[in-house]
Amino acid sequence: MNEPLEAVTGHPADERVRAMTTRVFLALAPPDDAKDELAQALHPAYDAYPRMRWNRIEDWHITLAFLGELPVAAVPPLMPPLAALAARRRPLRLALDGGGHFDERVLWTGVTGDLEGLHRLATDVRALVRECGVSFPDRLLRPHLTLARSRRGDHAATVEAAAGLAAFTGRSWEAGRLHLVGSNIGRGPGPIHYRSIQSWDFRHGAGGAAEISGD
């Protein structure tokens, strides 16, 4: 479900909050059946490496543009142009595939399918955000879905979990919704939770794309 900004920041949405910031990004989300399929493939890793910091399944997403920490007041002006962009797009046919790691610390599964369309969407989304006056880190798009992070000094678990996932090939699915997501990272102890601030269907419908939500 979509959440008001106060649900992301944890504070009332009043004048006092306008000076606060929220960490946001734009993303696609796999449907529940694709996530369940991947979760089944991960069961051996869940059992073997319980100390890894596993992301919650409901928070799995494919990041298109990480905007970082923005003033709360800077987020609402992005919504109308993002809605217009989504209305001009067609859904993308994608699939989750294989496994790997970044620097032996971050476990991920890859993305296959219409990668040309995915890169084009990310390019257009990033250009639109910059046209709205928001600057953010220009990171190379490496289509993936982050699954877990290693504990300090326990990088072997990440490498072994990635090897166990290498043969995974997921079903194809239709990504038909653009999500503007907020996170509570750096806002206290406990796991990172994500909430969909707003989402917009692509032309011809969402195709069953799941919401990113929190408890």
Is the alpha carbon torsion for 136, 139, 141, 143 positive or negative?
Answer: negative
Tokens of 52: 């890894």
- Residues with a known catalytic role: 61, 144
Tokens of 203: 């032309």
The letter for the amino acid at 86 is A
Tokens of 19: 């000076």
Tokens 């990668």 -> residue: 115
Listed in order, strand segments (DSSP E) in the chain are 21-28, 53-54, 62-71, 92-102, 106-113, 144-149, 169-175, 177-183, 194-201
Length of the chain: 215
Tokens of 93: 């046919």
Q: Are 161 and 98 in contact (CB under 8 A)?
A: no
